[in-house]
Amino acid sequence: MQTEARIRIQSVKKLPLFKMTDRKWAVVFLTPGFILMLIAYVYPLLYSLYLSFSSWDIFNPDGKIKLQGMHNYYKIFTNDALLSSLVRTSIFSFSALVIQLVIGVSVALLVTSEHLNQKFTSLVRAFLLAPMIISPVVAGILWRTLYNREYGPINYFLSLVGISKNPWIADPDTALMSVIIVEIWLFTPFVIFIITGGLLSLAKEPFEAAKVDGATPWQMFWKVTLPLLRPVILIIITLRIMDLFKTFDYVYSMTYGGPGESTEILTLSIYKQGIKFLDVTGAAAASWVLLLILLPPSLYLLRKTFIREGR
Amino acid sequence: MKKRCVSWLILIMLFAAVLSGCNSDSSSGKENLKGATITHMVQSATNRPEAYKEMAKEFKKETGINVKIVEAPWEQMHDKIINDLVTSTGTYDVMDIDSGWDGEMARYFQPLDPYIKKYKVNMDNYLDIYKNTTGISTLTGNKRYGIPLTGQTMAMYYRKDLFEKYKLDVPKTWNDFDNALETLKQEKGVYPFVTAGVNVQLPKLFFARYIPQGKPLFTKDFKPQFNNQDGAAAIDGMKTMFKYAPPGYLSMDTPDADPVFLNGEAAIILAWPNTLSPLLQNTKSSKIKDKWDAVAPPGPGNLGPWYLSISKFSKNKEASFKWIQYLSERENSKELMVKYGNYSTLKSVWDDPAVKEAIPGAEGILKAIKNCFLPTYLMHPAGNEWFVKTGSALSDALSDKTSTQETLDKMEKNWNSDKKKNPQGLIYEELGAN
C-alpha cells in the first residue's frame, strides 16, 4: 500500500517535469517555422514600412536608401490618380459585394430547397464550381475574348435577341461594370458555398416553430433565416472586402487598367508605381495605406475566430 | 632538400593551374570556357526561346559552353531582370532587352566595346538605324552595352484591291491618309481603318502624327515642346482616324486588331509586322491573300528594338559574349528571321533574295524600319511612367472624356510632376538612321 502511494507521489512529482520537457520540445519544433515566418512575413513587412518612409534612387546603381519622413504618404494624399483609384476600388468592391451577397443568398436558398429535385441541386452545385477552378489570370484573358466587340460571343448572343453590339471593356463608361461582372462570376460561387454550408447547419426547430405560428415563407426568410445566418454573412462580408480590395490578377490580364484609367484599381496603381515606374518607396507607402484600410475587417475576423476558438 | 623544393614547386604550379582553370571569365581562349554554363533570359510568346534552344546545341558542340534558356512574358521579364540587376544577383548572364528599358537598366550592363574589339565584331554590318540607336546611348557616354538583336516598327498595310477600286494613291502624308479613309468609308462591310487602341499603343500613334510636323517632343534638356498647335493637330488627327475604326478599338491590343484586317473587314491597318505578315499570306488565316501590300506609314513609327546584353554581375562574361556573337552571325540571324520571324538587324540578311521571298511585304517593312526613330525620353527615368500616363491621357481624349487641350496640359503636367533629375549625359534626341 505504502509502495503504491510512493509510486503515485513520484509520478505526480514527475508530471510537471515531463510537461516542461514537452514544452521545450514544442519550442524546438516551432522555432524553425517561427524563424521562417519572421523571414518570409515579418521582415518584408517591416522592410516595406521602412521603405515607405524613405527615398531610393533605384536608377542609380550606387543609389542608397535614405529616410525622408512622411513625404511618400503626403504624395499619396495629393496624388489625384491614386485617390481616384481608391474611389474606383471602393465602388468596385462595394457594388460587387452587394450583388454577390444577394445572388449568393438566393442561390444558396435554391440549392438547399427541399422542394427541388436533389439531383438538380447537386448538378447546380457542381456547375458553380467551374469558375472557382479557373485561374483568375486565365479568367481575365477569357473574358477579354468574350467581351470583344467584333467577334466576342456575348455580343453575338445579344445580337440574336436584337440588342446592338456593346463595347464592354472598350468604353470607359462600361468598363468598370464589365470588370464587376467578371468579379461576380468568379467569386459568387464562393459566397454560395459558404452560405449553403451555413444554411445546412441551421437547427430545424426555429423553422418548425415559425411554421406552427403561421409564418409565411417571406417572414420565415426575414425573421428566422437571415438572423440565424448573420454570423456567416458577417464573415463573408469581411473576407470578401479584404479580397475585393486586393483584386489584381484578372483586371491586369483583362484591361490593364484601361481604357484611360477607368478600371485602374488600387492594387494595379501600386503595381505600376512600384514595379513599372520603379517608385518602390512610393508603392510601399501606398501598400501600407491599403493595409490600414484592410486592418479593421481583418481585426474583426481575428476577433471572431478567437472568440469562437475560446468557446 | 632538393626533392622537397621540387615537390613544393610542382604543388604550387598545380594549384595555380587549378585556379586559372576555375576562372571561366579568363580572356585567354576557347578551352578555358569549356564547361561554363550561362543563363539567357528570353521573352516567351516569341519564337526566340525555341530558336535559341536549337542554336545552343550547336554552340555547345563548337565551344563546350552550356546555355540555359529561361523564358518569361514581356511584362514579367522586365520585373525579373530589374530585380536581378538592382540586387546585383547576376542570375541572368545574357538577356534579351527591350530598348524601352534602357533608362532603368543600361547602367547595370557590361560595357561591350572591349569584347567587340577583341572578337572583331564589325558594327557597320548592322542597319544604320540599329547601329545608331540600339544598345548604345549617351547614358553610358556612348559606350555600347548591347548588340542589336531584332526590331520592328509599325508598318501600314492596305488593301490593294480597294485602293484600286477607289483610285486611291498610297498616302504619303497624314492629310492624304485621312482623305483616303473618308473615301474608303463607301465600301460596305469594311472599316476604313483599324489599329490597336489600348492605352500602351496610343502614344506611338501620337508621335507618328506629331513628328512629321518637324518639331521635337522635348528640348535637349527635356522640356516638353508638344503642348502647342502641333500637339493639338496630332491628337485631333488621331481622333479623326479613329472615327473610321471599329468602335471597340480602345480595348484592342496588337493581336486583337489583326483579325479585322485578316478577315477583310478593314481597308488599312497600322500594325507591327512580325505577327501580321506571316498570317496575311496564309489562306487558313487570311481572306485577303495577295490583295494587300505593306508600306512605311505617313509618319515615322517609333522603333521597337531588342538587343542582347550581359549583366555586370555575370560571372561568365567572356562565354556570354561568345554566345551573343554566335547568335549575331549572319546565318543565325537569317535563320532567326526566316524560320522564327525575328527580323534581322543586319543589312546583308535583308538584302538576301531568299529572305525577301520568305518575308511577305519585306520591302515595305524595311522602308518603315529605316524611316522610324527612337526618342531618348524612353531612356529617362521618368520616361516609362510618362509613356504609360500619356497612353491613359490619350485614351481619355479619344473617348471624349477630356478635350484636346486638357490632354496636352495633362501630358505636360505629368512630365513635369514625374520628372526626376535628368540622368547625367542623357540629352533628348530623336535618333534615326542618319
Task: Enumerate residues 292 to 351 of chain B having a beta carbon within 8 A of any beta carbon in chain A.
Answer: 312
Could you please state the CATH topology (level 3) that the domain comprising B155-301+373-431 is classified under.
Answer: D-Maltodextrin-Binding Protein; domain 2 (3.40.190)
Q: What is the pLDDT of residue A302?
A: 79
In this structure, what C-alpha cell is assigned to residue B337?
Answer: 528571321
Q: What type of residue sits at position A131?
A: P
Residue A11 in this model has a pLDDT that exceeds 60? no
* Angle between helix B383-398 and B404-418 (nearest 10): 160
Highest mean pLDDT: which range of A112-126, A263-277, B3-17: A263-277
- CA distance linking residue A306 with residue B386, whole number of Å: 48
Which DSSP string corresponds to A224-255? IIHHHHHHHHHHHHHHHHHHHHT--HHHHHHT
Say which residue, B107 or B218, is predicted with more confidence.
Answer: B218
Work out the percent of chain B whose per-residue pLDDT is above 70: 92
In contact, B81 and B105? CB cutoff 8 Å: yes
Segments making up each domain of chain B, as ranges: 27-151+304-359, 155-301+373-431
- List of chain A residues whose C-beta atoms are within 8 Å of the C-beta of residue B418: 277
Say which residue, A264 or B384, is predicted with more confidence.
Answer: A264
Q: What is the pLDDT of residue B143?
A: 93
- CA distance linking residue A257 with residue B392, whole number of Å: 9
Which residues, 6 or more positions from B370, have their beta carbon under 8 angstroms from its beta carbon?
B127, B128, B129, B296, B433
B155-301+373-431 shares the fold of B27-151+304-359 = yes
Chain B contact present for A172, CB below 8 A: yes
Closest chain B residue to the Cα of A144, Cα to Cα: B251
- List of chain B residues whose C-beta atoms are within 8 Å of the C-beta of residue A147: 251
User: Taking all residues of chain A, what is their mean pLDDT, rounded to a whole number?
Assistant: 88
Q: What is the pLDDT of residue A12?
A: 53
Q: A74: number of CA atoms within 13 Å, CB side?
A: 6
pLDDT (average), residues A39-47: 93
Which residues, 6 or more positions from A120, have their beta carbon under 8 angstroms from its beta carbon?
none
- CA distance linking residue A132 with residue A139, whole number of Å: 10
Q: What type of residue sits at position A55?
A: S
- CA distance linking residue A14 with residue A77, whole number of Å: 62
Q: Does the distance separating the beta carbons of B259 and A260 come in below 8 Å? A: no
Tell me the ipTM for this assembly: 0.79
Q: Does the distance separating the beta carbons of A167 and B251 come in below 8 Å? A: yes
Q: What is the pLDDT of residue A114?
A: 78
CATH (one of 3.40.50.300, 3.40.190.10, 3.60.15.10, 3.40.1390.10) for B27-151+304-359:
3.40.190.10
For the segment B136-149, what is each residue's pLDDT rounded down to a tens digit?
988 888 899 999 99
pLDDT (average), residues B303-319: 95
CB-nearest partner of A260 from B265, B395, B418 = B395
For the segment B53-90, what is each residue's pLDDT rounded down to a tens digit?
999 999 999 999 999 999 998 878 988 999 899 889 99
* Angle between helix B229-242 and B404-418 (nearest 10): 120
Residue A16 in this model has a pLDDT that exceeds 70? no
Which DSSP string corresponds to B323-376? HHHHHHSHHHHHHHHHTT-----BHHHHH-HHHHHHSTTHHHHHHHHHH-BEEG
Q: Does the distance separating the beta carbons of B82 and A170 come in below 8 Å? A: no
Q: What is the pLDDT of residue B274?
A: 85
Q: What is the pLDDT of residue B218?
A: 95
- List of chain A residues whose C-beta atoms are within 8 Å of the C-beta of residue B391: 258
